[in-house]
Chain A
Amino acid sequence: QKEVEQNSGPLSVPEGAIASLNCTYSDRVSQSFFWYRQYSGKSPELIMSIYSNGDKEDGRFTAQLNKASQYVSLLIRDSQPSDSATYLCAVRGPSGGYQKVTFGTGTKLQVIP
């Protein structure tokens, strides 16, 4: 079982729709969760971080975390063609310990104009 799993996609959504990206993780003691966006040929760019169960909103982006289900998601409202990229889910272990971050393989999002 992979430590962090994502559907590779591509996920195609029409412009203006809500894009829903999902991620599951295997380590129950994970404490920090991040979503990175990576445009083709570019480096990963942090867009959201979440540490507590529930929702966290930032502009058009909402991260959702459910530690009991070991599930984290990213919602993108009013999707734009510029949102077309690969989205990487990243999970980090307990705050007091080793800082290792494990990345999923990413979900490719295509927003169709």
Chain B
Amino acid sequence: DAGVIQSPRHEVTEMGQEVTLRCKPISGHNSLFWYRQTMMRGLELLIYFNNNVPIDDSGMPEDRFSAKMPNASFSTLKIQPSEPRDSAVYFCASSSRTGIGNQPQHFGDGTRLSIL
């Protein structure tokens, strides 16, 4: 099975520009997560979707960040306007809930974002 697919792998843009990150979860997974990772703060959860519905967006740093999941196979994370402090690696992860236990998350390769 294909893993979580993210695009682009790298993004370099100037401050103030709109940035859109994309994610295709593993087929059959009904939970999707967006994370941001920096050296200073580690891996931070930004937003979590379950069955395409946003459940927890308390990690979204401010109104400049928005995320959508229009269907089970696609999600976007948008930053508008972007700022240099948004520079980080952004990961998308997905998981399923099967059986009794919770299933682990599987991560995409990430998008390395640099805002100049």
Chain A residues close to B by CB (< 8 Å): 31-32, 34, 42-46, 49, 51, 88, 90, 92, 95, 98-106
Query: Is there an interface contact between A106 and B97, defined as CB atoms closer than 8 Å?
Result: no
The distance in angstroms between the C-alpha atoms of A43 and B56, with both chains bound, is: 22
**Secondary structure dominating the interface of B:** strand
A40 to chain B, nearest CB (A): 11
B12 contact set on A, CB distance < 8 A = none
B102 CB–A CB distance under 8 Å: yes
Query: Is there an interface contact between A95 and B101, defined as CB atoms closer than 8 Å?
Result: yes
The distance in angstroms between the C-alpha atoms of A40 and B93, with both chains bound, is: 18
A98 contact set on B, CB distance < 8 A = 55-56
Q: Specify which of A32, A42, A90, A100 is in contact with B101 (CB 8 Å cutoff).
A: A32
Known: A32-B102, A34-B104, A100-B48. Contact between A43 and B43, CB under 8 A? no
Q: Specify which of A32, A43, A95, A102 is in contact with B107 (CB 8 Å cutoff).
A: A43
Query: Is there an interface contact between B102 and A103, defined as CB atoms closer than 8 Å?
Result: no
| Residues 48 to 98 of chain B near chain A (Cβ within 8 Å) | 48, 50, 55-56, 91, 95, 97
The distance in angstroms between the C-alpha atoms of A50 and B59, with both chains bound, is: 26
Q: In the complex, which of the residues B31, B43, B45, B107 has the most CB atoms of chain A within 10 Å of its own CB atom?
A: B43
Q: Specify which of A43, A101, A106 is in contact with B108 (CB 8 Å cutoff).
A: A43
In the complex formed, the residue of B with least CB distance to A34 is: B104
B27 contact set on A, CB distance < 8 A = none
Query: Is there an interface contact between A43 and B102, defined as CB atoms closer than 8 Å?
Result: no
A45 contact set on B, CB distance < 8 A = 107
Known: A31-B102, A99-B50, A100-B45. Contact between A44 and B55, CB under 8 A? no
19 more A-B residue pairs beyond the given contacts A43-B108, A100-B56, with a C-beta to C-beta distance below 8 A: A31-B101, A32-B101, A32-B102, A43-B109, A44-B91, A46-B105, A51-B101, A95-B100, A95-B101, A98-B55, A99-B31, A99-B97, A100-B45, A100-B48, A101-B105, A103-B43, A104-B42, A105-B43, A106-B43
